[in-house]
Amino acid sequence: MTDTAWTVRSLKTALDTSEAAQTGEIGLRIIEGADPVLLVTMHQHGDLEAFVNVSEAQIAASV
């Protein structure tokens, strides 16, 4: 288990270095608001969008 305290920004930074992001299979951007959300767009799946939220206890995704 890791001691990394994940945030939306640190998760995006980590995913930016992934093969999927580097090859353009996924797009990543942060939607600013009261609680920032990571928008992950999966281009090989009809541009399916997943909204990812990070809290102290969990990482949750919704499509």
Q: Which two tokens stand for residue 28?
A: 């990543």
pLDDT tens digit sequence for 5-61: 899 999 999 999 999 999 999 999 999 999 999 999 999 999 999 999 999 889 999
The domain tally of the chain equals 1
The helix or strand, by DSSP H or E, that contains position 8, with its residue range, turns out to be helix 8-16
On whether residue 3 sits in a domain, the answer given is no
The model carries a pTM of: 0.88
On whether residue 19 sits in a domain, the answer given is yes
On whether residue 48 sits in a domain, the answer given is yes
Tell me, letter by letter, the H, E, C secondary structure of 19-58.
Answer: HHHHCCCEEEEEECCCCCEEEEEEHHHCCEEEEEEECCCC
Tell me the residue range of the domain where 57 lies.
8-62
Q: Looking at the predicted structure, is the pLDDT value of residue 2 above 70? A: no
Q: Which two tokens stand for residue 41?
A: 């767009």
